[in-house]
Structure 1
Amino acid sequence: MTARPAERRGRLDRETVLASAESIVDRDGFDALSMTLLAAELDTRVSSLYNHVTNLEDLRSEIQVRAMSLLGRQVQRAAMGHAGADGLRVLSHELRAFARAFPQRYAALTRAPIDRDGFFAAAGDVIEAMGVMVRSTGLPERQTIPTGMAIFSALHGFVALEASGYFDGVPELEDVFEQVVRGAVTAAVLEVTTPRG
């Protein structure tokens, strides 16, 4: 027997609402997400959504936070058993894999965070994994964050261009990515042995 819309609405909870919102983002993009579209997706009224999220800004903020949390879990798993330059390469490949699997969520999490406190709390696993790898190259603590940000910036440039389709048809794309990774990692490691003027 098919459930009536009212019965389906009665089973809504915050997790269901957020998961459906993520599906919309994956399919249509972050900017396409709206309360009206989400309500239609869930076969409910817009007013019913406000039992689970405050407003559209809250919803979009949660998409960013959840995307960052998911990335954090993935890089933490990937980092197990690695260190130094090898670990930085592993994290580089994991970042690209995440962006390929969830291009729209990756685009959302690389925008200015809506809820900065929640976002950076969710980023803890990513920051920790990158910090461990950077420190294990021998860099002093004061250079950990700037070096991690520099590596991410280099990788993000490639990943964002790839996601946009800019590299479509480039036959040597894997070689290009490896060169970007090698350059970013080598620059970090050279900081250990090259004195600053």
Structure 2
Amino acid sequence: MLRAAEALVDRDGYDALTMTSLAAELEARVSSLYNHVANLEDLRALIQVRAMRLLGEHVRSAAMGHAGTAGLRALSHALRAFARSHPQRYAALTRPPIDREAFYAAALDAIEALAVMVRSAGLPDDRLLQSAMALFASLHGFVSLEVAGYFGDLSGTSAEVLDLDRVYEQVIDGAVTAASVEATR
């Protein structure tokens, strides 16, 4: 049932998920879904938790074997790749968590990978949370706009063709530079 709900979210969006739409997808009665989840919010919480766990696996795996700015770059690219592969689930996991306890438990891989990379870039523990949040906010801003289609097809809008990969590299450069500057304060 949960995989079907994720497929529905991937196809139609997080906000389009209803118990009725899921029942139709499963060719089941709505009432039978309540044998598995208490309500729609419970189902959405499970989707958020699973998406966060999957993101954590991606960034942890990408960060392995890296340190410092190279690790931050690897983690940044993993975040973007995840969001591009699962744009609707990424949007779901960046909303306020429904089940905070389960969500934050699922986020431990992502949080730890980011913390290790920020520490290895030279940031002291007393500025770790602040720097990690600033880094994530920068990356998330670009990634969210990209997967929402905000940039659209910008090629041909000027004499030079806009290369979103290069723009993202510039966002990463800015975020990593800011983290490095913070480390020297």
* TM-score normalized with structure 2 length: 0.94
Matched AA of 2:18: S
- What SS does structure 1 have at the residue aligned with 2:66? coil
Partner of 1:180: 171
Q: Which moved more, 1:176-185 or 1:134-143?
A: 134-143
C-alpha separation between the residues in 1 aligned to 2:5 and 2:133?
Answer: 29
Partner of 1:143: 127
Q: How many residues align?
A: 178
Partner of 1:154: 138
Contact map agreement 2:52 2:103 (CA 8 A) in 1: yes
Aligned sequence identity (%): 66
Paired residues for 1:1-197 under 5 Å = 17-170=1-154, 171-193=162-184, 195=185
Partner of 2:159: none
* TM-score normalized with structure 1 length: 0.88
Matched AA of 1:82: H
- What SS does structure 2 have at the residue aligned with 1:186? helix
Matched AA of 1:138: G
Partner of 1:11: none
Shift of 1:169: 2.1
- How big is each residue's C-alpha offset from its partner over 1:66-108, in whole Å with a ceiling of 9 and x where there is no partner? 0000000111111110011110011101000000000000000
Q: Which runs of 5+ in 1 are unaligned?
A: 1-16
- How big is each residue's C-alpha offset from its partner over 1:87-133, in whole Å with a ceiling of 9 and x where there is no partner? 00111010000000000000000001111111111100000000000
C-alpha separation between the residues in 2 aligned to 1:64 and 1:179?
Answer: 29
Contact map agreement 2:145 2:151 (CA 8 A) in 1: yes
Shift of 1:190: 1.4
Structure 1 stretches of 4+ moved >4 Å: none
C-alpha separation between the residues in 2 aligned to 1:149 and 1:100?
Answer: 21
C-alpha separation between the residues in 1 aligned to 2:167 and 2:25?
Answer: 40
Q: Considering only CA atoms, is the larger Rg found in Structure 1 or Structure 2?
A: 1
